[in-house]
Amino acid sequence: MTNFLAKIFMNIYSTISQNIWKTYLILFFFVLFAGTLAYVLTKSLGYEPSVGIVIFIFALIYSFVSYFYSDKMVLATTGAKEIHKAQNPEFYRIVENLALGEGMPIPRLYVIQDPSANAFATGRDPKHAAVAVTTGILERLNRAELEGVLAHELSHVKNYDTRVLAITAVLVGFISLLSDLFFRHLLWGENRKNNNIFLLAIAIGLAILAPIIASLIQLAISRKREYLADASGVLLTRYPEGLASALEKISSDPRPLKTATSATAHLFIINPLKGKGFSGWLTHVFSTHPPIEERIKILRSM
């Protein structure tokens, strides 16, 4: 029995390790891609390369500043209301016990009045974290399942997933804005007489493809962080079946979360925009989350 448990937890640690380095490798190439884009677009318009570098540095600074306020914006747009221990003692005690087990501060707790079952975490670090759940998830899940979900969300906070996703969201916005400004300048700008035609053709192609590529990278990072949070959450509860069963129940609920948007969908434990999106192979490529069936299969193999 001891060897069996040791094998399970070695598998969990291996999953966590793989997802960490894969995520940061993707993020590294994302930053490199954004910097290259800034350089090529500004150079093709006849500006000095230093202009692109300045724009990119500004974007990086802005990305690190933005996450200070991202949690407040997300909580406000989802209609989450803060609650205290007296309002829902069981919810509070579960989070309290899990936070103590993780060695992290107890996050602020929020509830969204919505029958759809879902949950998310936000905040730039464990000291400024918040966990929100819907009334639907509190009603549908038993204690073990709710513990699995909350352990998953606390893992997002401990692993700094919310910070990583906030930075990638800003980089996606920066790339889209840069592409838009490039086309506006190309159409209405006056500084085009010294442009290199070959470089300009490359820049136009990049400006068209860059926002799509950036969004795909963002989605890939989001999916990796979900796998990581699943593994980390199980490491905390020592009970993979709790989260697996919870994912089955949540995914079986066909109701979308009314206050969720495409900008906040990646934060939730499963995609809250149920029934919306692409079909076939594009479902995985453009999904904010890994397939539920795959997540459940991995959890039950631990």
**pLDDT (tens digit per residue) in 7-58:** 555 665 665 566 567 667 766 777 777 778 878 888 777 776 666 677 767 7
For residue 132, the SS3 value is: strand
Pairing of strands 108-112, 119-122: unpaired
Provide the β-strand partners of residue 132. 110, 120
pLDDT at 67: 59
Q: What is the pLDDT of residues 132-151, one digit of tens each?
A: 999 999 999 999 999 999 99
Q: What is the pLDDT of residues 54-66, one digit of tens each?
A: 776 776 676 666 6
106 DSSP 8-state letter = P
Catalytic residue ranges: 153
Per-residue confidence band for 116, with pLDDT thresholds at 50, 70 and 90: very high
What are the backbone angles phi and psi of residue 257, rounded to the nearest 5°? -80, 120
Q: Which of 83, 100, 73, 99 is nearest to 138 (CA)?
A: 83
Per-residue confidence band for 165, with pLDDT thresholds at 50, 70 and 90: confident
Residue type (1 letter), 255:
R
Tokens standing for 105? 């501060």
pLDDT at 281: 46
pLDDT at 14: 65
Percentage of the chain lying above the pLDDT 70 cut: 80
> Which are the contacts of 62, defined by CB distance < 8 A and separation ≥ 6?
170, 174
CA distance to 57, 59, 253, 259, 270, per residue, from 80 (Å): 34, 29, 20, 9, 17
pLDDT at 214: 78
pLDDT at 104: 92
pLDDT at 212: 84
- Please say if the pLDDT value at position 283 is more than 70: no
What does the pLDDT average to over 276-292? Answer: 60
Distance CA 204, CA 186 (A): 9
Reported pTM: 0.75
pLDDT at 111: 96
Residue 206: enclosing H or E segment and its boundaries?
helix 197-237
For residue 193, the SS3 value is: coil
Instruction: Return contacts of 265-270, CB within 8 angstroms, 24+ apart.
Output: 266/165, 266/218, 266/219, 266/222, 267/74, 267/120, 267/121, 267/122, 267/162, 267/165, 268/118, 268/119, 268/120, 269/118, 269/119, 269/120, 269/149, 269/152, 269/153, 269/226, 270/118
CA distance to 109, 204, 280, per residue, from 214 (Å): 32, 16, 21
- Count of other CB atoms within 10 angstroms of residue 66: 16
Q: What is the pLDDT of residues 53-97, one digit of tens each?
A: 777 677 667 666 665 777 788 888 899 999 999 999 999 999 999
